[in-house]
């Protein structure tokens, strides 16, 4: 089916005869394959008598050949998977040796932080998991999610979105709307040798989703720019930025990048509520410390918070 999708990705009409000749099947077989594509990947394919078939909207499909030359890490491109992070863990369990990269055209059970689902339509966004081997214990990954955020920030700016900024700990926003998120997962011995899966989700070409599927304001690079984005080029940019920032983090730790991160934090100095389960703390954002933990001024006293289950929100009186 992949060759058929590649022929249709331009969003233009293609006749059944043209498609059949290109991939060596009959016109009747083309219609059956198109129906299978619609069902498997939840695509909408239009059929018009006398003109042929076309996708509802053009796609920028990922290319194994282009991705293989777009970074220092071996890459596996999947058409569909439950979750790239879950697939990364399965590959580790069966003996795959890091570093390696898993990218998918679609996730059927994409995951975000705090148990949330990550909406993952076929061929529109980026679903990306980089697996690294970490030696020397947990201190080696202090601030890592914030470092990944900086790499992602610059990749999105390189694509033309200048107004993107960071939100502690793992989100990137444009005009208050989420455009990307990060999910780090660890396995192995946290005191010695372990593996970290760096999961990245970026809304690249997503145009719309059902109203109640995403529970927060969102946007995509395409919505901001008003045009389709080449996803292969975006992966290339992201790989280059990740290599640069991971190298810096490995040499000097997060402390050397702390001021850059704070300079791009959208909520620096803002009044916020920090939720941990049913409890919440209100304060003003002072910044982060050398480990990437959040520093809050709470009634004139500085407090430091870290942990994967924390959720930061602007207070209502700080939204103006």
Strand order in the sheet with 100-104: 75-78, 100-104, 126-134, 194-202, 177-188, 171-174, 164-167
Instruction: Take residue 44 and report the two structure tokens written for it.
Output: 């909408």
| Total Cβ atoms within 10 A of residue 23 | 15
Q: Per the residue annotation, which of 33, 113, 222, 231 is the catalytic one?
A: 113
Token match 């005869």: residue?
Answer: 17
Nearest CA among 185, 86, 197 for reference residue 132: 197
Binding residues for biotin: 83-85, 107, 111-113, 178
- The reply to whether 113 belongs to the active site is yes
Instruction: Take residue 294 and report the two structure tokens written for it.
Output: 């959040």
SS3 content of the chain, % helix, strand, coil (to 5): 35, 30, 40
Q: What is the C-alpha to C-alpha distance for residues 46 and 67, in angstroms, rounded to an integer?
A: 30
Binding residues: 83-85, 107, 111-113, 178
Q: Per the residue annotation, which of 33, 54, 178, 231 is the catalytic one?
A: 178
Residues designated as active site: 113, 178, 313
């Amino acid at each position: 089916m992949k060759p058929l999708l590649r022929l249709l990705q331009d969003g233009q009409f293609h006749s059944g005869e043209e498609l059949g000749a290109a991939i060596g099947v009959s016109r009747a077989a083309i219609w059956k394959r198109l129906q299978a594509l619609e069902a498997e990947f939840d695509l909408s394919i239009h059929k018009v008598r006398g003109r042929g078939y076309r996708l509802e909207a053009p796609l920028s499909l990922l290319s194994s050949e282009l991705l293989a030359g777009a970074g220092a890490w071996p890459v596996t491109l999947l058409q569909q998977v439950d979750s790239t992070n879950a697939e990364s863990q399965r590959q580790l369990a069966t003996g795959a040796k890091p570093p390696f990269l898993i990218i998918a055209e679609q996730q059927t059970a994409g995951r975000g932080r705090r148990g949330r689902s990550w909406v993952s339509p076929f061929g529109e966004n980026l679903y990306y998991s980089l697996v690294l081997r970490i030696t020397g214990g947990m201190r080696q990954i202090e601030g890592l999610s914030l470092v990944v955020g900086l790499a992602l920030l610059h990749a999105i700016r390189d694509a033309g979105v200048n107004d993107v900024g960071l939100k502690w700990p793992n989100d990137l926003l444009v005009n208050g709307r989420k455009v990307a998120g990060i999910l780090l997962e660890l396995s192995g011995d946290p005191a010695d040798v372990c593996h970290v899966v760096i999961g990245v989700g970026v809304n690249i070409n997503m145009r719309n989703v059902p109203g109640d599927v995403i529970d927060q304001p969102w946007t995509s690079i395409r919505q901001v720019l008003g045009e389709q984005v080449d996803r292969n080029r975006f992966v290339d940019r992201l790989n280059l930025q990740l290599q640069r920032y991971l190298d810096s983090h490995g040499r000097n730790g997060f402390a050397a990048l702390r001021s850059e991160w704070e300079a791009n934090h959208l909520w620096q100095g803002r009044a916020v509520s920090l939720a941990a389960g049913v409890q919440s703390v209100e304060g003003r954002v002072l910044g982060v410390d050398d480990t990437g933990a959040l520093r809050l001024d709470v009634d004139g006293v500085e407090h430091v918070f870290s942990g994967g289950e924390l959720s930061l929100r602007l207070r209502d009186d700080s939204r103006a």
